[in-house]
Homo-oligomer: A and B are copies of this chain.
Amino acid sequence: MKKILAGLALATIAITGVASAQDSPFALQIGARKGVMDYRQLQLITLGQMAKGEVEYNAEAAQKAADNVVASAMLDQSMLWPQGSDSDSNIESRAMASIWAEGSDIGAKGKAFAEAAMAMQAAAGVDLASLQAAMGPLGETCVACHKDYRAPAN
């Protein structure tokens, strides 16, 4: 029991200290959301550079980037989008309140992204033409959501 309590104390040290230094009560949720977007962007840059011929096509690297996009789409993010964590109430966020409003189609847009990511996963390692063909539809799902639900940068 003593060992468990000591362990819990250590765990408490490990998991505190970040939120208190930040502004919003949703700092961790918003930070994690933005981090997931940054992660996806890194993968899309890798894929996009090959698609545009800026970097030589490499089937293995393309497949890995596509796998990573899918992994990021599969990650459970249900806890990252609590009501009240929108850009109206949190200066760190660009997630518009309309995400949570009646009539929001954020779920459908998320599903479209996941499906386009899986199409990219099936295509990226085949050849350059397949990667290029999958890039547009994937980019469109990013744009569709950002256009409707991401507030302009400050």
Contacts and interface: CB of A to CB of B under 8 A. Distances in A.
A58 interface: no
Given A32-B35, A35-B31, A136 B42 contact: no
B143 A10 contact: yes
A10 B34 CA distance: 21
A51 interface: yes
Interface residues of A, number: 57
Interface in A26-69: 27-29, 31-39, 41-42, 44-46, 48, 51-52, 64, 67-68
A42 B14 contact: no
Given A6-B136, A35-B31, A139-B12, A64 B48 contact: no
Given A8-B139, A139-B13, A41 B18 contact: yes
A8 B142 CA distance: 12
A34 to B, nearest CB: 6
A79 interface: yes
Interface string A68-99: 10011011100110000000000000000000
B21 A32 contact: no
A101 interface: no
A150 to B, nearest CB: 10
A38 B24 CA distance: 13
Given A3-B136, A7-B136, A7-B137, 18 more contacts: A4-B132, A10-B140, A11-B138, A13-B139, A13-B143, A14-B139, A15-B139, A27-B38, A28-B38, A28-B41, A29-B42, A35-B36, A35-B37, A35-B39, A42-B80, A64-B76, A71-B76, A72-B75
